[in-house]
Structure formats: structure tokens, C-alpha cells
Amino acid sequence: MRRMFQIRQDKGLALISVVWVVLLLSVLAIAVLDLSLLARKTTKLELEEAQNQLVAASAVDVFMHRYFLDDEQNARHHASIEVLSKAVTVQVAFEKGRINLNDDNMDYLSAAFAANGVDESAALEIAAAIMDWRDEDDEVSLGGAEEDEYKHSGLDYRPRNGWFESVGELQHVIGVSPDVFLCTQDIFTVYSKVSNAPPVLTYAEESVRKVIKWAYDHDWQSTVWGNPEDIPYFEGASISGDSVAGLAIRLHVTIEGDEDRYYQTVLRLKSKGGTSEQFETVLPVRRISLLQMDALCVGGSS
């Protein structure tokens, strides 16, 4: 009797072990299935992104060769194009109308942040940190930041001590939060190649005009600011193909859909719509709506 109980007990333990093995295998099977579905979803998203980048790149080529200059050789501001049954909008922005991270002074750099909701003292500190990032020495500007300041902030990199290679590099400057970058990225350039010259308001988009108007209204840093309301923004027909030769332009590409996709690239014009150099590949960018912009980038330091 005792032996039978022992056998039954052993059988019971064996049965429990089998149940646990089955449960474990079931859990593993579900996990593998989940991973498989996740991998498929990831692959699908990656494929869609690759296709969208090709569509955006094709739209840039089509726009530059067929739409940028009209029949009278005047530059167009934008165009709507269909590529592989996708509706695409391409819009032109001139880099000459932006604030240059490598050339413009403290007043323009700080105004870009102060006009977009950054506290006045913080805006000046960010501008000083930009100056320290791009200069070749290790001396800290007033309110700025060099290697020690980055270390003390827990950052594992130091300022470049050289020119910014892209606007995206601004995200690494001390004091520039993700929200601050999102609010100001369209204001800056590294491509205008006009030494120590402020943005040319004829070419300046609304984001830059907002900064200059704010600085003009607030007499920012006692600098003499022009009123952008007195200087009209270019309309396509007002600029000829010859006059845009040599300028760097940024193309904003929007692929329309249930959820719009945004891309951009920067080109330097040769003449009659040709391009001599493409500074950036067509890359995805993050954009927010005007409503979100108003909520995030509050009207500027008072």
C-alpha cells in the first residue's frame, strides 16, 4: 500500500512536471509568435519608410527639373506632384533667409530662442554656448559652456570647437532641450555661406520673420532691427533663374496621406535650375502643427 502511494505520488509529480513543461512551451511559443509579429511589423514599417524616402527623392528630382523654373524662367515657390500614385508637395526655402549657426552673432542667435518662449537669460546662455561650440578655443564665453561645463552636466561629449556641420548638431549644445530644438530648427542654417551677414528678409520664411519682428518690437539687445513687415517675402515670379544661381535652397517635401510624412534636403543651385552640389540626402524630419507650435513655443520672452 505504501508502495502504491509512492508510485501514485511519483506519477502525480510527473504529471505536474509535464503540465509545467507544456505551459512553459506554450509561453515560449506565444513569445516567439509575438516576436515574429513584431519583426514583421518592424520590417513592414522599415519598407514603408524606405519607399517614402524614394518617393521624396523622386519628387525632388521631378520638381527641380520640371517645376522649379516656369516657362519664363522664374523660380516657383512650391508645386504639387504625383509620384507612384502618392500626392507630394514640394516647397522651397532659401538658406540665405535663415540665421546661420556658424556666422551670425549673439544678438541673432539669442533672439531666435527668446522669440520662441525661452527665458531671456537662458536664451543668452544658449547663444553663448553656440559661440563656444563653434569657436576654436577652450575659453568659456560669458554664460557659455566648454568641456568642463558639459562634464559637470553629465554629458559624455565636448563642444566641437569648430563649425556646425548640420542644424541637427544644435541638439547637442547645452541648454537646447528637445522642445527648444523642435521650435527653432527651421530658423537656422549652416549653408548660407554669407560671412557675418544677417538673414536676408526677402528670402526669410515666417519662422525667421517672427524672430526678427519680435526683436524689432522688443529692441532686443539694443540692436538696430529692420521691420520685416516693410520687406515683402519673395513670390516665385519675382525671382529669375539667373538671380537664384549660387544660392542654397532647402526643399520641404510632404507626402500626403492618413498621416503626412515630412522630408527635406538642401541643394546649391548652379543656374537655370541645375544643382552643383547636394549637401544633404533626402531625410525624414519631425514636424508639428501650427496649433501644437503655438502651445509648445509660447510667444516669446516679454
Q: Residue 76: pLDDT band by 50, 70, 90 thresholds?
A: confident
Q: Residue 112: pLDDT band by 50, 70, 90 thresholds?
A: very high
Q: Residue 75: pLDDT band by 50, 70, 90 thresholds?
A: confident
Q: What is the pLDDT of residue 233?
A: 80
Question: Considering only 58-67, 177-186, 190-199, 272-281, which range has the smallest mean pLDDT?
Answer: 272-281
- The rounded distance, in Å, linking the Cα atoms of 73 and 226 is 31
Per-residue pLDDT at 4 exceeds 60: no
pLDDT tens-digit series, residues 155-195: 999 999 999 999 999 999 999 999 999 999 999 999 876 56
Q: What is the pLDDT of residue 168?
A: 93
The model carries a pTM of 0.77
Mean pLDDT score of the chain: 82
pLDDT tens-digit series, residues 14-58: 555 555 665 666 666 777 666 676 666 677 777 888 888 899 999
